[in-house]
């Protein structure tokens, strides 16, 4: 049986934080109120002295741990190749940046750092001795549109297996298991005047594997409102979905990388009072995960496409997970 702990990334409260409705302490307090046993901090978002962790901020983290009973368990790194306007960063520069993130994660007491696949497999491999030095496990995020064994992820798996390092692995993101369109983007399209029949047509084209160009042409020919293109881009971008018949195969892929997975990201886009995520089949995913040997945090991660804030939805998400996991 798995030993799953439930956490939340403070990214869930990014809208409230950006609007100055919440400060760092309030984000931590809300995560605790939602029932999180620990939290992920995204360094570029909430470290005032990024990429360094000041004594002052570390003191705040420890004070909040005493006050609310939770502290940072995961560090979210942003591996940004586009920091310069004139060129992409080199592997050497990306590696140096990742090392700075490792130092910050270590200082905060995080045992897991989520990395992104902008960090090349070659740079990822070179990061191993630094991860071991700072005692922080680095997991490449398996993010939609990738799947656990998509060709790109297999390159990282080969590095993990070749090095044998216990400090290199994965952070699977549940968004890659989506089996239905994103409700928030669907509802936004409707509010802008798109007809539901055209949205359903777009979804059917995506299910059938039509190319983006073909889908665009067919929707234009059908007289769809131009605002449908935003939702369509999502269906072919970072909120892709597959037929539900594909789910068993995707979970089988997950089982192959599970021994190398340090943490999971419980991605979600919307949750009504019925505690059901319309596009991501949590019942099936968590039922599968319960019967595995996975041991680690499942970090709730809300994508606020509606710009309404994540407070209520994050509470619902953790409640849904507790209900399914029993």
Count other Cβ atoms within 10 Å, centred on residue 278: 19
Structure-token pair, residue 1 = 């049986």
What is the rounded distance in angstroms from the CA atom of residue 112 to the CA atom of residue 102? Answer: 9
Q: What is the CATH number of domain 3-180+241-325?
A: 3.20.20.150
pLDDT tens, position by position, 252-274: 999 999 999 999 999 999 999 99
- For residue 85, give the DSSP letter: S
Provide the pLDDT for residue 306: 87
pLDDT tens, position by position, 13-63: 999 999 999 999 999 999 999 999 999 999 999 999 999 999 999 999 999
| Percent helix, strand and coil across the chain, each to the nearest 5 | 50, 15, 35
Which of 179, 195, 189 shows the shortest CA–CA distance to 231?
189
Residues of the chain with pLDDT under 70: 1
Which of 185, 150, 155, 187 shows the shortest CA–CA distance to 168?
155
Query: Which residue has 């741990």 as its token pair?
Result: 65
Strands in 168-172's sheet, in edge-to-edge order, are 168-172, 137-142, 112-115, 72-76, 39-42, 3-9, 295-302, 263-268
Provide the pLDDT for residue 200: 98
- Packing angle of the helix pair 91-108, 55-68 (nearest 10 deg): 50
What is the rounded distance in angstroms from the CA atom of residue 101 to the CA atom of residue 79? Answer: 9
- Domain map (residue ranges) of the chain: 3-180+241-325, 183-235
On whether the CB atoms of residues 34 and 7 are closer than 8 A, the answer is no
Provide the pLDDT for residue 127: 98
Residue 20 gets the label, from left (phi > 0), alpha (psi -120 to 50) or beta, of left
Computed on alpha carbons and rounded to an integer, the radius of gyration of the chain in Å comes to: 20
Provide the pLDDT for residue 2: 75
Provide the pLDDT for residue 1: 65
pLDDT tens, position by position, 162-176: 999 999 999 999 999
Torsion of CA 313, 191, 143, 58, to 10 degrees: -40
């Amino acid at each position: 049986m798995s030993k799953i702990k439930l956490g939340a990334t403070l990214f869930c409260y990014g809208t409230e934080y950006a609007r100055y409705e919440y400060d760092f302490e309030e984000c931590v307090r809300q995560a605790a109120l939602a029932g999180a046993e620990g939290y992920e901090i995204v360094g570029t978002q909430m470290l005032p002295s990024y990429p360094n962790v000041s004594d002052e901020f570390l003191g705040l983290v420890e004070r909040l741990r005493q006050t609310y009973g939770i502290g940072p368990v995961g560090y979210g790194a942003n591996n940004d190749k586009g920091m310069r306007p004139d060129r992409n960063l080199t592997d050497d520069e990306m590696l140096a940046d990742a090392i700075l993130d490792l130092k910050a994660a270590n200082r905060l007491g995080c045992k897991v750092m989520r990395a992104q696949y902008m960090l090349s497999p070659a740079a990822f491999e070179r990061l191993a001795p630094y991860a071991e030095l700072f005692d922080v496990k680095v997991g490449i995020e398996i993010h939609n549109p990738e799947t656990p064994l998509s060709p790109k992820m297999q390159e990282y798996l080969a590095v993990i297996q070749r090095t044998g390092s216990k400090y290199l692995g994965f952070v699977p993101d549940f968004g890659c298991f989506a089996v239905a369109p994103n409700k928030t983007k669907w509802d936004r399209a409707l509010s802008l005047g798109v007809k539901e029949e055209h949205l359903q047509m777009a979804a059917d084209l995506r299910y059938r594997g039509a190319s983006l160009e073909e889908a665009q042409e067919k929707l234009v020919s059908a007289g769809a409102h131009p605002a449908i293109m935003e939702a369509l881009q999502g269906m072919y971008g970072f909120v892709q979905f597959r037929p539900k018949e594909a789910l068993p195969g995707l979970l089988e892929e997950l089982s192959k990388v599970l021994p190398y997975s340090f943490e999971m990201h419980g991605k979600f886009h919307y949750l009504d009072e019925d505690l059901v995520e319309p596009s991501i089949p949590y019942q099936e995913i968590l039922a599968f995960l319960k019967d595995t040997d996975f041991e680690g945090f499942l970090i709730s991660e809300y994508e606020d496409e509606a710009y309404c804030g994540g407070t209520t939805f994050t509470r619902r998400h953790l409640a849904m997970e507790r209900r399914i996991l029993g």
